Structure 1
Amino acid sequence: MRALVKNPVLILIVTLSWFAVGTGICRAMTEDEANNIQLYEQLAPGVVNITSTVLERDFFFNVAPREGSGSGVVIDGKGYILTNNHVIADAEKLEVTLANGRKYTARLVGTDPDTDVAVVKIEAPKEHLVVVPMGSSDNLRVGQKVLAIGNPFGLGQTLTSGIISSLGRSLRAGDGSLMEDVIQTDASINPGNSGGPLIDSSGRMIGINTAIFSPTGASIGIGFAIPIDTVKGVLKDLIERGYYAYPFLGATLMTLTADSAKALKLPVEAGAMLVDLATGGPAQKAGLRGGSTRAQIGNNILIVGGDIIVKVDGQPVTDANQFLRYIRKLRPGDRIKLEVVHWKGGRDTVTVTLGERSSRSRRSKS
């Protein structure tokens, strides 16, 4: 120490070194931190806050407005914004706040409850809009880094990070329909994050944050996002038609299990059994037959007697959900070949032209 005291230059160097260590100045930023900062600064301006006003009746039946809040993401320079259907459901008024604080009245362009996707539009100058680019959800891997940007609890422009925890999850939409191939992530998602983007490390949107699993209502590290490829599948129709045209078979189906087939003494072990047919629907027009009688198997009462679908377009059908997933990927007007086993024996190949399912929520463009 005596030598140091006698050397003012060394004293200055040591003092600055201690100060740098103590304040963290000398710590180099990690590559991951730099990536987080870059992506946030680049993309956060493209994430908006959406305020929805819903009219409700109070205890005395007086109409009172109730506000809700969610997130959205700008997808082009024309002012189209992607969000969740449940963020804007039943709204009488929609207001979008950009990251720069500017507010715009938004109109609902289209919505699809089945995928919990909606599109709204604002009339804003192109120079005020930052577009978040879309990637692909086709080749995602568990363990891959992801970022979520949104407005949890109304706190704008919040960034959280995590990984893809699982793929191929199933999730019930607010209307009860089953969403397939949902992304699970541990990136913190809370109320208000809904409709915001899930982003990969290259800055591409790979999903739309939609829900969390939590007994408390706050994030416990189990969040879900709609894959961007699912969004792309309905997006064009939502913008052009206001709704997505789903194919319609006109039949209620039930999975035929091996135990049920054995108890009913059927010549097949698995398939999708037709329970009920819509009058005048595609299945009925093609000559298929639905159930006609009741049968008790164990504690279950089944409607039996209908045709059993065992193949669709040459592919084996093992259960009703598998068959419906196949149909869901088609469009109205597509023709499918079904191999069916009749209840009283015999097989047939039947061609069915799919109809269009009436939408539960159609909004035409104004």
Structure 2
Amino acid sequence: MNRRYAIAAAAFAALLLAVTAAKVLHVPVPWAAPTARAVEQRGPLSDGEKATIEIFERVSPSVVQVAAKSAASPLMGEEGQGGGASGTGFVWDRDGHLVTNNHVIANGGEIAVRFASGEVAKVDLVGTAPNYDLAVLRIRSVRQLPPPIALGSSSDLKVGQSAFAIGNPFGLDQSMTSGIISALKRRLPTHAGREIANVIQTDAAINPGNSGGPLLDSAGRLIGVTTAIISPSGSNAGIGFAVPVDVVNRIVPELIRSGRVPTPGIGIVAAGEDVSTRLGVEGVIVVRTAPGSPAERAGIRGVNFSTGAVGDIITAAEGKPVRRLSDLTDALEQAGAGKTVRLTVKRGSDSRDVNVGIVDIDRS
């Protein structure tokens, strides 16, 4: 009897275990649904989204990737890497001229561009302006040239207004970033040793490869050419710079016309800002004048090295204060070589106005 009971109990236990196992195996798993989930319908795009999309779709066909092959290497790499450089450019006019940064193509060699359509075209170098980090290229042939980007103005920009950049960061073509104009009237040194005045600062993400691309306003108009970033890592840190379009619109036609831009000057060597600061001087201290230069002919004097006495200090140009050398160079560039500028010069406790001719110091 006990044996039969034990056998029956064992059989019941086995049956119960089998049923339990079957139930466990057939429990539905919530993350293994047999069919795709239904798509949730979204509402309409916001007006801001629509405006941004419209800017990209309208402008991006006119933005190109610029690849410059180093004369020493057949490879074209990311900007600042390998034997070549990769940057951005954009269509300037219907004659096939493109604008980019000078530092993108500065190493020489063959230059090619890739359009948004994927078409690759060879280009010729028309001219460079290292003092402004600008260069102009001309397309040899292309099936269909995209339209030039509409020009805006940088004279009426406001800190806080929207800004958009389109370019090829790290070689990733047709990338768009957005932000605001963070500051205006920045000073940006160039590799040529001069400063670009009135530079635009933006927090729109700008990375290596964006150089030479367009900075746009909310109407999709060109307001600057992206040129540099400040970053310990070399990647975007929220501080990018662009050459203002008013400068670009003055320099590019000159490059197309003659292949170069004059460097306006009056023939002086100026003391550094650190010297002026130590002496408590607000203005440009003239160290010396070049023999036969317009400054010398106008009677401007440099430092007296025999006595150590400070020479003339330029404090204004055309009535506007000159506090540093970049203020003076900006005034000379605005006037242009071949013109005359009225300078206010302080000597000791006396100030006087003098008219000084402006020359192209690269050819004088």
TM-score (norm 2): 0.79
Q: CA deviation at 1:125?
A: 4.4
Q: Secondary structure of 1:352's partner?
A: strand
Alignment counterpart, residue 96 of structure 2, candidates 60, 74, 79: 79
Name 1:272's counterpart in structure 2. 284
Name 1:172's counterpart in structure 2. 189
Separation in 2 of the partners of 1:42 and 1:204? Answer: 11
Name 2:61's counterpart in structure 1. 45
Quote the RMSD (CA, aligned, Å).
2.6
2:264 corresponds to 1:260: no
Q: Aligned pair in 2 of structure 1 residues 142, 348: CA closer, same or farther (>3 Å)?
A: closer
Q: Aligned pair in 2 of structure 1 residues 34, 22: CA closer, same or farther (>3 Å)?
A: farther
Name 2:216's counterpart in structure 1. 199
Q: Secondary structure of 1:153's partner?
A: helix
Separation in 1 of the partners of 2:202 and 2:277? Answer: 36
Q: Secondary structure of 1:128's partner?
A: coil
More strand per residue: 1 or 2?
Answer: 1
2:38 corresponds to 1:34: no
Alignment counterpart, residue 353 of structure 1, candidates 345, 353, 357: 357
Matched ranges for 1:165-314 at <5 A:
165-254=182-271, 260=279, 270-293=282-305, 304-314=309-319
User: Residue 122 of structure 2 aligns to which amino acid in structure 1?
Assistant: T
Per-residue CA deviation, residues 70-115 of structure 1 (Å, 9 max, x unaligned), is 0000011211001011111122111111111111111111111111
Separation in 1 of the partners of 2:136 and 2:199? Answer: 19
Larger-Rg structure: 2
* Gapped regions of structure 2 (runs ≥ 5): 1-36, 74-81
Name 2:83's counterpart in structure 1. 66
Per-residue CA deviation, residues 30-56 of structure 1 (Å, 9 max, x unaligned), is 111111111111111100011101123
Q: Aligned pair in 2 of structure 1 residues 149, 318: CA closer, same or farther (>3 Å)?
A: closer
TM-score (norm 1): 0.79
Check conservation: 1:79, 1:129, Cα contact below 8 A. no
Q: Secondary structure of 2:330's partner?
A: helix
User: Residue 300 of structure 2 aligns to which amino acid in structure 1?
Assistant: L
Residues paired across the two proteins, number: 318
User: Residue 311 of structure 2 aligns to which amino acid in structure 1?
Assistant: G
Separation in 2 of the partners of 1:128 and 1:316? Answer: 45
Q: CA deviation at 1:270?
A: 4.5
Matched ranges for 1:304-343 at <5 A:
304-315=309-320, 317-342=322-347
Q: Aligned pair in 2 of structure 1 residues 76, 165: CA closer, same or farther (>3 Å)?
A: same
User: Residue 241 of structure 2 aligns to which amino acid in structure 1?
Assistant: F
Q: Aligned pair in 2 of structure 1 residues 260, 119: CA closer, same or farther (>3 Å)?
A: same
Name 1:55's counterpart in structure 2. 71
Separation in 2 of the partners of 1:52 and 1:348? Answer: 51
Check conservation: 2:201, 2:240, Cα contact below 8 A. yes
| Higher RCO (C-alpha 8 Å, min separation 6) | 1
Q: Secondary structure of 2:71's partner?
A: strand
Separation in 2 of the partners of 1:226 and 1:169? Answer: 10
Separation in 2 of the partners of 1:251 and 1:149? Answer: 41
Separation in 2 of the partners of 1:308 and 1:128? Answer: 52
Per-residue CA deviation, residues 236-295 of structure 1 (Å, 9 max, x unaligned), is 11110111123210001236859737xxxxxxx744331111122111222322223167
Separation in 2 of the partners of 1:96 and 1:259? Answer: 49
Deviates more, 1:227-236 or 1:248-257: 248-257
Q: Secondary structure of 1:201's partner?
A: coil
Separation in 2 of the partners of 1:246 and 1:328? Answer: 8
| Matched-pair identity in % | 38
